[in-house]
Amino acid sequence: MKNIYVGELAEKWEFCSDHIPVFMRLKDEEGEEFNVVTCNVLNDAYLGWLIDKDSQGINGSAITQYNYKKEGEKLTERNHLMIDTMKKIMNNPKSGMIMLQECSTPFLKALEKDLPGNWKLTTIDKPLVDREAILYNPEYVSLKGTVLPVDPYPSAPGRSLMHAIFEKRGGDKKRIHVVNAHVPGDPNLPCRDEFADYVKKLPKDDIWLAGGDLNFERLDMIHAFEKAGLFEERYPEQVFYSPAYHTNIHPRSDSADTFGPGAYHSKAIDHMFTSSLFEPLNPADV
Protein backbone atom coordinates (compact mmCIF):
# COMPACT_ATOMS: atom_id res chain seq x y z
CA MET A 1 0.00 0.00 0.00
CA LYS A 2 1.31 3.38 -0.96
CA ASN A 3 1.36 6.03 1.76
CA ILE A 4 -0.85 8.88 0.58
CA TYR A 5 -0.55 12.52 1.60
CA VAL A 6 -3.99 13.32 3.00
CA GLY A 7 -3.23 16.76 4.43
CA GLU A 8 -5.22 18.26 7.31
CA LEU A 9 -8.50 16.36 7.15
CA ALA A 10 -10.14 18.16 10.11
CA GLU A 11 -13.92 17.52 9.96
CA LYS A 12 -13.50 14.99 7.12
CA TRP A 13 -12.21 12.46 9.69
CA GLU A 14 -15.49 11.00 10.91
CA PHE A 15 -14.40 8.22 13.29
CA CYS A 16 -14.21 8.89 17.03
CA SER A 17 -10.65 7.57 17.39
CA ASP A 18 -7.50 8.36 15.44
CA HIS A 19 -7.19 4.64 14.59
CA ILE A 20 -9.54 2.71 12.32
CA PRO A 21 -10.37 -0.80 13.62
CA VAL A 22 -9.00 -3.93 11.93
CA PHE A 23 -11.14 -7.04 11.40
CA MET A 24 -10.32 -10.67 10.67
CA ARG A 25 -12.02 -14.05 10.90
CA LEU A 26 -10.10 -16.69 12.86
CA LYS A 27 -10.62 -20.19 11.45
CA ASP A 28 -9.41 -23.75 11.95
CA GLU A 29 -9.33 -27.04 10.08
CA GLU A 30 -12.59 -28.18 11.70
CA GLY A 31 -14.51 -25.26 10.19
CA GLU A 32 -14.98 -23.40 13.45
CA GLU A 33 -14.64 -19.65 13.06
CA PHE A 34 -15.29 -16.33 14.74
CA ASN A 35 -14.47 -12.68 14.13
CA VAL A 36 -11.64 -10.87 15.88
CA VAL A 37 -11.25 -7.08 15.99
CA THR A 38 -8.48 -4.79 17.23
CA CYS A 39 -9.04 -1.11 17.94
CA ASN A 40 -7.16 1.70 19.67
CA VAL A 41 -10.01 3.66 21.29
CA LEU A 42 -7.89 6.81 21.98
CA ASN A 43 -7.47 7.73 25.62
CA ASP A 44 -8.71 11.19 26.63
CA ALA A 45 -5.33 11.74 28.29
CA TYR A 46 -3.74 12.14 24.85
CA LEU A 47 -6.26 14.48 23.22
CA GLY A 48 -3.83 17.38 23.59
CA TRP A 49 -1.86 15.97 20.67
CA LEU A 50 -4.99 16.23 18.53
CA ILE A 51 -6.48 19.47 19.85
CA ASP A 52 -3.72 21.76 21.10
CA LYS A 53 -0.91 20.57 18.84
CA ASP A 54 -3.16 19.23 16.04
CA SER A 55 -0.26 16.94 15.21
CA GLN A 56 -2.31 14.73 12.86
CA GLY A 57 -4.40 17.43 11.22
CA ILE A 58 -7.70 16.11 12.58
CA ASN A 59 -8.67 18.83 15.05
CA GLY A 60 -12.32 19.57 14.20
CA SER A 61 -13.01 15.89 13.45
CA ALA A 62 -15.60 13.70 15.17
CA ILE A 63 -12.98 13.19 17.89
CA THR A 64 -13.08 16.83 18.94
CA GLN A 65 -16.68 17.58 17.92
CA TYR A 66 -17.94 15.05 20.48
CA ASN A 67 -15.36 15.85 23.14
CA TYR A 68 -17.90 17.13 25.65
CA LYS A 69 -19.88 15.74 28.58
CA LYS A 70 -23.63 15.84 28.85
CA GLU A 71 -25.03 16.96 32.17
CA GLY A 72 -24.49 14.31 34.84
CA GLU A 73 -22.21 12.18 32.65
CA LYS A 74 -18.73 11.04 33.69
CA LEU A 75 -17.62 10.24 30.14
CA THR A 76 -17.52 12.43 27.07
CA GLU A 77 -19.95 11.86 24.24
CA ARG A 78 -17.00 10.63 22.15
CA ASN A 79 -16.39 7.81 24.64
CA HIS A 80 -20.07 6.87 24.57
CA LEU A 81 -19.95 6.77 20.77
CA MET A 82 -16.96 4.45 20.94
CA ILE A 83 -18.83 2.17 23.35
CA ASP A 84 -21.81 2.16 20.96
CA THR A 85 -19.45 1.20 18.13
CA MET A 86 -18.07 -1.73 20.12
CA LYS A 87 -21.63 -2.86 20.95
CA LYS A 88 -22.54 -2.86 17.26
CA ILE A 89 -19.53 -5.06 16.56
CA MET A 90 -20.43 -7.40 19.44
CA ASN A 91 -23.98 -7.76 18.14
CA ASN A 92 -22.70 -9.49 14.99
CA PRO A 93 -23.46 -13.20 15.52
CA LYS A 94 -19.92 -14.16 14.41
CA SER A 95 -18.15 -11.74 16.75
CA GLY A 96 -15.92 -13.57 19.21
CA MET A 97 -13.23 -11.19 20.46
CA ILE A 98 -12.27 -7.49 20.48
CA MET A 99 -8.78 -6.35 21.47
CA LEU A 100 -8.71 -2.76 22.76
CA GLN A 101 -5.81 -0.40 23.43
CA GLU A 102 -5.53 2.99 25.19
CA CYS A 103 -8.44 2.35 27.55
CA SER A 104 -8.90 4.62 30.55
CA THR A 105 -10.32 3.17 33.77
CA PRO A 106 -13.59 5.19 33.54
CA PHE A 107 -14.04 4.03 29.92
CA LEU A 108 -13.58 0.38 30.88
CA LYS A 109 -16.01 0.64 33.80
CA ALA A 110 -18.69 2.17 31.58
CA LEU A 111 -18.05 -0.34 28.80
CA GLU A 112 -18.24 -3.34 31.15
CA LYS A 113 -21.49 -2.04 32.63
CA ASP A 114 -23.03 -1.78 29.15
CA LEU A 115 -21.91 -5.08 27.59
CA PRO A 116 -24.60 -6.79 25.49
CA GLY A 117 -25.74 -10.38 26.03
CA ASN A 118 -23.23 -12.63 27.74
CA TRP A 119 -20.11 -10.76 26.59
CA LYS A 120 -17.32 -10.35 29.14
CA LEU A 121 -14.33 -8.06 29.65
CA THR A 122 -10.87 -8.82 30.96
CA THR A 123 -8.07 -6.33 31.43
CA ILE A 124 -4.71 -5.75 33.07
CA ASP A 125 -4.84 -5.78 36.86
CA LYS A 126 -2.52 -2.81 37.20
CA PRO A 127 -3.16 0.92 37.79
CA LEU A 128 -2.16 2.58 34.53
CA VAL A 129 -3.14 5.75 32.67
CA ASP A 130 -4.27 3.52 29.84
CA ARG A 131 -4.68 -0.22 29.65
CA GLU A 132 -5.19 -2.94 27.12
CA ALA A 133 -8.45 -4.89 27.43
CA ILE A 134 -10.14 -7.81 25.69
CA LEU A 135 -13.85 -8.26 25.15
CA TYR A 136 -14.85 -11.87 24.48
CA ASN A 137 -17.94 -13.89 23.68
CA PRO A 138 -18.24 -17.05 25.86
CA GLU A 139 -20.08 -18.78 23.02
CA TYR A 140 -16.73 -19.08 21.26
CA VAL A 141 -14.05 -18.97 23.96
CA SER A 142 -13.68 -19.24 27.73
CA LEU A 143 -11.06 -17.34 29.72
CA LYS A 144 -8.52 -19.55 31.47
CA GLY A 145 -6.21 -16.91 32.87
CA THR A 146 -4.13 -13.82 32.30
CA VAL A 147 -0.41 -13.14 32.43
CA LEU A 148 1.09 -9.78 33.36
CA PRO A 149 4.62 -9.82 31.93
CA VAL A 150 7.25 -7.88 33.85
CA ASP A 151 8.76 -5.31 31.47
CA PRO A 152 7.96 -7.11 28.20
CA TYR A 153 9.75 -4.20 26.48
CA PRO A 154 13.14 -4.07 28.24
CA SER A 155 14.05 -0.94 26.29
CA ALA A 156 10.89 0.84 27.55
CA PRO A 157 10.51 -0.13 31.25
CA GLY A 158 7.02 0.25 32.64
CA ARG A 159 5.13 -0.24 29.40
CA SER A 160 2.46 -2.92 29.61
CA LEU A 161 1.54 -5.87 27.43
CA MET A 162 -1.62 -7.91 27.91
CA HIS A 163 -1.44 -11.69 27.63
CA ALA A 164 -4.66 -13.65 28.11
CA ILE A 165 -5.19 -17.39 27.72
CA PHE A 166 -8.49 -18.64 26.30
CA GLU A 167 -9.88 -22.06 25.43
CA LYS A 168 -12.03 -22.70 22.38
CA ARG A 169 -15.56 -23.88 23.12
CA GLY A 170 -16.43 -27.16 21.46
CA GLY A 171 -14.29 -28.98 18.92
CA ASP A 172 -10.71 -29.62 19.99
CA LYS A 173 -10.84 -27.12 22.89
CA LYS A 174 -7.40 -25.84 21.94
CA ARG A 175 -5.92 -23.00 23.93
CA ILE A 176 -5.48 -19.56 22.37
CA HIS A 177 -2.81 -17.24 23.71
CA VAL A 178 -3.89 -13.68 22.95
CA VAL A 179 -1.22 -10.97 23.16
CA ASN A 180 -2.84 -7.55 23.00
CA ALA A 181 -0.22 -4.84 22.52
CA HIS A 182 0.32 -1.12 22.23
CA VAL A 183 3.93 -1.25 21.12
CA PRO A 184 6.00 1.84 22.03
CA GLY A 185 6.50 3.75 18.78
CA ASP A 186 9.97 5.24 19.27
CA PRO A 187 11.87 4.12 16.14
CA ASN A 188 15.15 4.39 18.04
CA LEU A 189 14.10 1.61 20.44
CA PRO A 190 13.85 -2.11 19.58
CA CYS A 191 10.32 -2.47 21.01
CA ARG A 192 8.88 -4.11 17.90
CA ASP A 193 11.64 -6.73 18.09
CA GLU A 194 10.92 -7.25 21.79
CA PHE A 195 7.23 -7.75 20.99
CA ALA A 196 8.12 -10.36 18.37
CA ASP A 197 10.50 -12.08 20.81
CA TYR A 198 7.68 -12.33 23.36
CA VAL A 199 5.36 -13.94 20.80
CA LYS A 200 8.11 -16.36 19.78
CA LYS A 201 8.18 -17.77 23.34
CA LEU A 202 4.48 -18.73 23.36
CA PRO A 203 3.72 -22.48 23.49
CA LYS A 204 4.03 -23.92 19.98
CA ASP A 205 1.29 -26.50 20.51
CA ASP A 206 -1.29 -23.80 21.26
CA ILE A 207 -2.85 -21.24 18.93
CA TRP A 208 -1.51 -17.73 19.32
CA LEU A 209 -3.01 -14.44 18.26
CA ALA A 210 -0.96 -11.27 18.69
CA GLY A 211 -1.72 -7.75 17.59
CA GLY A 212 -3.09 -4.34 18.34
CA ASP A 213 -1.67 -0.87 17.82
CA LEU A 214 1.83 -1.95 16.84
CA ASN A 215 2.91 1.59 15.85
CA PHE A 216 4.97 0.31 12.91
CA GLU A 217 4.01 -0.50 9.35
CA ARG A 218 3.74 -3.84 7.61
CA LEU A 219 7.36 -4.28 6.46
CA ASP A 220 8.76 -3.12 9.81
CA MET A 221 6.71 -5.76 11.63
CA ILE A 222 7.50 -8.47 9.08
CA HIS A 223 11.21 -7.78 9.57
CA ALA A 224 10.78 -7.98 13.37
CA PHE A 225 8.99 -11.32 13.12
CA GLU A 226 11.57 -12.63 10.64
CA LYS A 227 14.35 -11.77 13.10
CA ALA A 228 12.46 -13.67 15.80
CA GLY A 229 12.14 -16.74 13.53
CA LEU A 230 8.35 -16.69 13.42
CA PHE A 231 8.10 -17.27 9.68
CA GLU A 232 10.32 -20.35 9.50
CA GLU A 233 7.48 -22.76 8.67
CA ARG A 234 4.98 -20.45 6.94
CA TYR A 235 5.06 -17.43 4.68
CA PRO A 236 4.32 -14.00 6.23
CA GLU A 237 1.00 -13.86 4.33
CA GLN A 238 -0.08 -17.02 6.16
CA VAL A 239 0.66 -15.54 9.57
CA PHE A 240 0.46 -11.75 9.35
CA TYR A 241 -2.71 -9.79 8.65
CA SER A 242 -2.32 -6.13 7.82
CA PRO A 243 -5.51 -4.57 6.42
CA ALA A 244 -5.92 -3.47 2.81
CA TYR A 245 -6.60 0.05 4.09
CA HIS A 246 -4.61 2.50 6.17
CA THR A 247 -5.59 2.93 9.81
CA ASN A 248 -3.83 6.08 11.01
CA ILE A 249 -2.21 9.39 9.97
CA HIS A 250 1.48 10.03 10.52
CA PRO A 251 1.85 13.13 12.73
CA ARG A 252 3.65 16.35 12.04
CA SER A 253 6.90 16.55 13.98
CA ASP A 254 8.48 19.67 15.42
CA SER A 255 11.89 18.09 14.87
CA ALA A 256 13.49 16.48 11.84
CA ASP A 257 11.43 13.32 11.29
CA THR A 258 13.35 10.81 9.24
CA PHE A 259 11.16 7.86 10.19
CA GLY A 260 7.76 7.09 8.77
CA PRO A 261 5.98 8.16 5.60
CA GLY A 262 6.01 11.90 6.36
CA ALA A 263 3.67 14.36 8.04
CA TYR A 264 -0.03 13.94 7.25
CA HIS A 265 0.55 10.75 5.24
CA SER A 266 -1.69 7.72 5.71
CA LYS A 267 -0.22 4.57 7.21
CA ALA A 268 -1.28 1.14 8.50
CA ILE A 269 0.06 0.45 11.99
CA ASP A 270 -2.69 -1.76 13.42
CA HIS A 271 -2.14 -5.44 12.62
CA MET A 272 -2.68 -9.01 13.79
CA PHE A 273 -0.50 -12.12 13.66
CA THR A 274 -1.84 -15.63 14.23
CA SER A 275 -0.71 -19.23 14.04
CA SER A 276 -4.25 -20.24 13.07
CA LEU A 277 -5.99 -19.96 9.72
CA PHE A 278 -7.67 -16.63 9.03
CA GLU A 279 -9.33 -14.48 6.41
CA PRO A 280 -9.56 -10.68 6.14
CA LEU A 281 -12.87 -8.97 6.80
CA ASN A 282 -14.22 -5.73 5.40
CA PRO A 283 -15.37 -3.38 8.18
CA ALA A 284 -18.62 -2.86 6.29
CA ASP A 285 -19.39 -6.58 6.67
CA VAL A 286 -18.95 -6.71 10.44
The pLDDT confidence band at residue 258, using thresholds 50, 70 and 90, is low
Averaged over 149-157, what is the pLDDT?
Answer: 92
Span 186-202, pLDDT tens digits: 999 999 999 999 999 99
pTM of the model as a whole = 0.95
Quick check: 179 and 243 in contact, CB under 8 A?
A: no
Q: What is the pLDDT of residue 28?
A: 80
Span 34-50, pLDDT tens digits: 999 999 999 999 998 89
pLDDT reading at 256 higher than 50? no
Q: What is the pLDDT of residue 56?
A: 94
Going by C-alpha positions, the residue among 86, 89, 47, 40 that lies closest to residue 68 is: 47
Averaged over 7-28, what is the pLDDT?
Answer: 96
Average pLDDT, the chain: 92
- Phi, then psi, of 220 in degrees rounded to 5: -60, -40
Give me the percent of the chain exceeding a pLDDT of 90: 80
Give the DSSP H or E segment for 181: strand 175-182
Span 212-238, pLDDT tens digits: 999 999 999 999 999 999 998 888 999
Span 55-84, pLDDT tens digits: 999 999 999 999 999 999 999 999 999 999
Residues 224 and 218: their CA atoms lie apart, in Å, by 10
